[in-house]
Structure formats: C-alpha cells, structure tokens
C-alpha cells in the first residue's frame, strides 16, 4: 500500500469538549485540520493497528468527505477493518450498539449533535471506545496531549471506496464493510420493548407525531414506528436526513421544535408527540397540551421501566447528571436502589453501566438511556414511553400527574445565555467560584443561601476525580441554582443556569414553572450578576 506520511504541526484549540471536538464546519475543512485531529485521536487511543473500527455520522454536511479521509487514515495506521454505516449514516446510539455487537476497538462518530449543520454551521468528531461509550477523560486527555505534539499524519494514497451500497471492499489492505445502519438497531429494540403490545396500541387508534427534524433518526423511526409497529404513514415527519437539516437547528426544545410543540398544544394534537436531535441521542416527549421535562422523563422512566419488555427484572440503580433535577432521586429512594450524581457528559455514565451499578441514566439536556448501549438513545426513550402507555393505557398527561401525585413535583427550568464573550463568561464563573465560602447565610432577593460549592465527582468504580463541574447554590427553602458553562457550543461561551424547587402538594402541581421559580431565578441573577455583567436582560433559550 502507498502511505503518505505528511508533516504537520500542532493546531491550537483541538481540545475535546463535553462530547468530542465541535467546531465550525469550515474549520474542520481547512487543509490538514481534520487529518491532524484524526491522527491525534489515533495516537490518544493507543493506535489502531490490527483493530476493527466503526465509522459513521449523522449525515450532516462534510460527513461523507470526512469519512473518506478517516478511512484512508485508519488504513494507513494499520487497522484491519472498518465497519461503516451505508451512506455514512449511523445514529450515535446505533454506532454505540455496533461497536459493542462487533466487539470493535472503538468508533469514529461524526456529529455536532443538536447543533445546526451546513458549510457555515457546525461539525464534530468524537471517538467512542470498546464499551460503545464516548472516550473517558483519561483518553480525551491523551488525545488533547497528542494534538499538542503531533508532527505528522499518515494517509493512504488510494481513494476510499464508495459507501452508498452495502458490501465489502478493500482499501489498501484494510477491509471496508458497509452495513445497513438501521437493521442491528431495530433488532436490539425488538428485545427491549414489546413490539406486539405497541402494535396493538396503534391498532386501537393511538396517534403519534414523531418529528425527526430532517436528521438522522428519520430512517430508524420510519422503519420501527411505521414499519414494525404499524403506525400510519405520516406518523414520522421530516423523516429524510438532510445535510443542513433543512436549515433547522435539530434540537428538540420548544424553540427549535416549535412546529411540534404548536401541534401538541393545538386543537388537533395527536395522543403523543416526540422528537429526537441531529444524531439521534436526545429525545423529547409530549402529550396533548403537555411537554414532559427531561428531568421528569428520567424519573418517570425509572419508575416505570420494569413494565417494558427488556427490563422486567427491575432497575439496579439510577444515574443523573448533576444539573438534572432531583426527581429521579425520589424514585431511586423508593425503589431502594443506588442513585449516582455525575458531571455533565454521557461519558461519566459508562463506568456505572459497565459495573452494573446503574440501569438507567439521564440528563436535563433531553438525554435518557440505559445499559443497552453506552450513549443516550432518543428513539429508545420514545419506544419505552410507548411501551409504558401501551401497558398502562393512560394518557401522557395522566401518567405525569400520577407520578407527581406519588413523588411530588420538582419544578425545573434551564436558562441559556448564548454566544457570550468568553472573557465575560469565564470571569463570571471565576468570581462565583472565588466567593463561594462567603455565600452561606447571606440573603439575595429574599432567598437565604444554605450551601454553596463547586461540584466535584469521584467515580465510585475507579476513584478518578473530576473537579470544577459546576457551581451549586442551595437555598434554605430547598430550592437550588446551578451555574455552568456549556461544553458543546462553537461560538463564544454559553452560560447555563439551572433552577429547581420541590412541591409536594398536588393542588400546586399545575403552576407555571417560570412563576414558581421566579424567586430563585432572581436570586441567581443577583449572586452571579448575570444581567449586570452580560447586559442581557433575558436568556436566549428557556427550557
Ligand atoms: C452532550 C453530551 C451530553 C451533555 C451535553 C451537555 O450532548 O453528550 O451528555 O449533557 O452535551 O451539553 P452542554 O455542555 O452544552 O451543556 P450532545 O447531545 O450534544 O452530544
């Protein structure tokens, strides 16, 4: 084989964030940029010689060209086989499944998730390890170190084979196997949820609108919902993946999935609404006139999971990211199982799942998943919801109200301030951190602070410590505010402010969360000086 060894220099700023490296697409397209980072990944994961590697992405602009480069590079670095989703498509959970099922060494997952795609939008790349999950911190640290010292990259001169048909090809001695991206995933879901039961639900007239947001879940949702489960044609909308997601922002929140929210809160709402994101790992579930907050969805799924076909033996433990509301803690306590609070980022759940300490995990950022893969899984969550509805034969609103009646309601909201100047955001967090010990006992906007700290996590499986994971302020009335900077943005800094408070009284479960949380929001603003420092009177996105 003809391998080119191309001299290169370290490129600043190739530090993997919460979920791999995310940059503007044009940055990834700069000559040598992607190659540089891919070689750093190869070094950071200990090389790919004699390994089998999965490759796939969410189909966004530059997906196929990037895959061709990755294939030529892993061939040059000695991989024996690449397993690639047809047309370069693999949803993130499907990629995780394929890595596990084929016992591959790992996989390149090309996605900037919920961020928009296109030549002027975002692109991303991460490496998932052999358990199917995102590389853990020691590996991403090693990748980052490699980006600082890299001096050459290896690439074969042969062109990559076409990837739009299923088949097996040779690339300079490496086997390239192109697989159906959907088939293995459907098979896995068949074992986890009761297709017959959900089929009977649809046959009884139950209606669903699934918005694939012109992103990767279209083919998966169409095959399962309309194919296997007999939902009428048209149940899946925006079902064709487009390189620019139809100019949309494939994030299933009330702002970007407005069309779905409008339908679900309108007069012709179906029984259930659902959406996933760019790469298929996030989910949102709605009923007629109600949107289920992701933190509530985690708690609800944990409480009902034993009803789904693949989980009849129950839940071993529950894990949530620190900013996620404490609703799931109440379920874990009632079930008498472990509850784990981790930093933001799915990679932190991997060890707990591998150790059998947790069965279900979730995050406020619309992610829920279980031990079936090592990524959050949007369609999985929606199918579990369907299995629960098919079993309980209650509406989404009734299931939610019943849950709050049993456990109480954790009112919750996240306020995002996007594209802030990085220096302002960094200084705000640094000052908050610097003043934490002075806060307890002080009163802000009528709220007395009880506790204040910067979240630090010790992984119970290997003792590794991740510090500075977000500032937590607990108030005397039990409510909480959390501040952290996003690790997935590509422009400036995004401040996330998460607030919550607990309401046990069912007579007070139908209030507007923004109204209930107004006091803690005001106190948080005063403590951090958000408006004063940023000049922003209101957040860009409220969820
Ligand atoms: C990624 C991670 C999630 C995490 C989210 C947080 O989501 O996979 O585990 O919750 O980032 O994002 P941020 O740091 O912006 O708050 P995704 O869906 O973008 O891969």
Residue 293 pairs with which residues in a beta bridge?
A: none
Q: State the CATH number of the domain containing residue 389.
A: 3.40.120.10
Same domain for 374 and 516, yes or no, is no
Same domain for 441 and 530, yes or no, is yes
Residue 135 alpha carbon to ligand 1 centre in Å? 14
Domain that holds residue 446: 410-542
Q: Is the CB of 19 under 6 A from ligand 1?
A: yes
Ligand 1, residues 322, 362, 365, 414: which to mutate, most atoms within 8 A of Cβ? 365
Least confident of 2-6, 324-328, 380-384: 2-6
Least confident of 133-142, 276-285, 398-407: 133-142
Same domain for 175 and 295, yes or no, is no
Checking if the pLDDT of 114 tops 80, the result is yes
- List 19, 96, 111, 113, catalytic entry: 113
Ramachandran region of residue 206, left (φ > 0), alpha (ψ -120 to 50) or beta?
A: beta
Same domain for 448 and 486, yes or no, is yes
* Chain center to CA of 398: 27
pLDDT confidence of residue 487: 83
Q: Is the CB of 374 under 6 A from ligand 1?
A: no
| Single residue among 156, 179, 202 that ends a domain in this structure | 179
Residue 486 alpha carbon to ligand 1 centre in Å? 8
| Single residue among 407, 426, 461 that ends a domain in this structure | 407
Q: Is the CB of 347 under 6 A from ligand 1?
A: no
pLDDT confidence of residue 17: 84
Query: In which band, very low, low, confident or very high, does the pLDDT at 314 lie, cut at 50, 70 and 90?
Result: very high
State which ligand 1 atom lies nearest to the alpha carbon of 365. Answer: 10
Taking the C-alpha atoms of residue 457 and residue 341, their distance in angstroms, rounded to an integer, is 8
Same domain for 155 and 209, yes or no, is no
Q: State the CATH number of the domain containing residue 474.
A: 3.30.310.50
- The total number of structural domains that make up the chain: 3
Same domain for 391 and 467, yes or no, is no
Q: Is the CB of 113 under 6 A from ligand 1?
A: yes
Same domain for 194 and 172, yes or no, is no
Model pLDDT for residues 141-190, shown as the tens digit of each residue: 999 999 999 999 999 999 999 999 999 999 999 999 999 999 999 999 99
Checking if the pLDDT of 538 tops 80, the result is yes
Q: Is the CB of 14 under 6 A from ligand 1?
A: no
| Single residue among 407, 438, 471 that ends a domain in this structure | 407
Same domain for 385 and 504, yes or no, is no
Taking the C-alpha atoms of residue 127 and residue 41, their distance in angstroms, rounded to an integer, is 7
Taking the C-alpha atoms of residue 99 and residue 103, their distance in angstroms, rounded to an integer, is 6
Per the CB < 8 A criterion, the answer to whether 296 and 362 are in contact is no
Smallest CA separation from ligand 1 atom 9, residue: 345
Query: In which band, very low, low, confident or very high, does the pLDDT at 213 lie, cut at 50, 70 and 90?
Result: very high
Average pLDDT over residues 122-137: 95
Per the CB < 8 A criterion, the answer to whether 500 and 325 are in contact is yes
Average pLDDT over residues 531-538: 93
Burial letters for 83-109: b for 16+ Cβ neighbours within 10 Å, e otherwise? bbbbbbbbbbbbbbbbbbbbebbbbbb
Same domain for 297 and 423, yes or no, is no
Q: Which two tokens stand for residue 220?
A: 């998966």
Model pLDDT for residues 361-392, shown as the tens digit of each residue: 999 999 999 999 999 999 999 999 999 999 99
Smallest CA separation from ligand 1 atom 7, residue: 19
pLDDT confidence of residue 364: 97
Same domain for 317 and 436, yes or no, is no
In the DSSP assignment, the letter for residue 448 is: E
pLDDT confidence of residue 463: 92
Percent of the chain with pLDDT over 70: 100
Model pLDDT for residues 215-230, shown as the tens digit of each residue: 999 999 999 999 999 9
Same domain for 225 and 114, yes or no, is no
Same domain for 369 and 446, yes or no, is no
Q: Is the CB of 18 under 6 A from ligand 1?
A: yes
pLDDT confidence of residue 349: 95
Comparing 248 with 244, the larger pLDDT belongs to: 244
Checking if the pLDDT of 18 tops 80, the result is no
Per the CB < 8 A criterion, the answer to whether 131 and 374 are in contact is yes
Burial class (CB in 10 A: 0-12, 13-18, 19+), 525: middle
Active site residue 113: yes
Q: What average pLDDT is seen over the chain?
A: 96
Q: Is the CB of 117 under 6 A from ligand 1?
A: no
pLDDT confidence of residue 186: 98
Residue 365 alpha carbon to ligand 1 centre in Å? 7
Average pLDDT over residues 19-42: 96
């Amino acid at each position: 084989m003809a391998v080119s060894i191309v001299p290169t220099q370290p490129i600043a700023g190739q530090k993997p964030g919460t979920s791999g490296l995310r940059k503007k697409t044009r940055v990834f397209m700069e000559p040598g940029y992607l190659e540089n980072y891919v070689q750093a990944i190869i070094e950071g994961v200990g090389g790919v010689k004699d390994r089998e590697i999965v490759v796939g992405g969410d189909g966004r602009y530059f997906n196929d060209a990037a895959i061709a480069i990755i294939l030529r590079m892993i061939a040059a670095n000695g991989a024996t086989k690449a397993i690639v989703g047809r047309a370069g498509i693999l949803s993130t959970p499907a990629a995780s499944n394929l890595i596990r099922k084929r016992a591959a060494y790992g996989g390149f997952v090309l996605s900037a998730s919920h961020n928009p795609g296109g030549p002027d939008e975002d692109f991303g790349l991460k490496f998932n390890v052999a358990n199917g999950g995102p590389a853990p911190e020691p590996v991403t640290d090693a990748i980052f170190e490699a980006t600082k010292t890299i001096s050459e990259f290896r690439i074969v001169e042969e062109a990559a084979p076409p990837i739009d048909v299923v088949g097996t090809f040779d690339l300079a001695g490496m086997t390239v196997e192109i697989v159906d991206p959907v088939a293995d995933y459907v098979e896995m879901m068949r074992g986890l949820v009761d297709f017959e039961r959900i089929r009977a639900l649809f046959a009884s007239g139950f209606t669903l609108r699934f918005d694939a947001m012109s992103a990767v879940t279209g083919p998966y949702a169409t095959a399962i919902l309309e194919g296997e489960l007999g939902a009428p044609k048209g149940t899946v909308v925006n079902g064709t993946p487009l390189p620019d997601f139809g100019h949309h922002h494939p994030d299933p929140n009330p702002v970007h999935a407005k069309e779905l929210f409008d339908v679900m809160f309108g007069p012709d709402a179906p029984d259930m609404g659902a959406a996933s994101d760019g790469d298929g790992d996030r989910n949102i579930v709605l009923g007629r006139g109600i949107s289920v907050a992701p933190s509530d969805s985690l708690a609800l799924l944990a409480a009902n999971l034993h009803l789904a076909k693949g989980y009849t033996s129950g839940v071993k433990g529950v894990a949530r990211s620190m900013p996620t509301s404490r609703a799931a803690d109440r379920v874990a306590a009632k079930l008498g199982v472990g509850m784990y609070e981790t930093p933001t980022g799915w990679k932190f759940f991997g060890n707990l799942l591998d150790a059998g300490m947790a069965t279900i995990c979730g995050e406020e950022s619309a992610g829920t998943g279980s031990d079936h893969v090592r990524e959050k899984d949007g369609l999985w969550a929606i199918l579990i919801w369907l299995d629960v509805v098919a079993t309980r034969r209650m509406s989404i609103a009734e299931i939610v109200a019943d849950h709050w009646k049993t456990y109480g309601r954790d009112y919750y909201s996240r306020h995002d301030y996007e594209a802030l100047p990085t220096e302002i955001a960094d200084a705000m967090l640094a000052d908050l951190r610097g003043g934490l010990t002075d806060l307890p006992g002080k009163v802000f906007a009528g709220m007395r602070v009880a506790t204040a700290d910067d979240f630090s996590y010790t992984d119970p499986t290997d003792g590794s410590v991740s510090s500075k994971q977000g500032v937590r302020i607990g108030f005397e009335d039990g409510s909480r505010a959390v501040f952290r900077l996003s690790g997935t943005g590509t422009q400036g800094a995004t401040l996330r402010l998460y607030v919550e408070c607990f309401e046990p009284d069912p007579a007070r479960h139908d209030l507007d969360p923004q109204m209930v949380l107004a006091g803690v929001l005001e106190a948080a603003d005063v403590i951090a000086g958000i408006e004063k420092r940023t000049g922003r009177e209101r957040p860009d996105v409220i969820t």
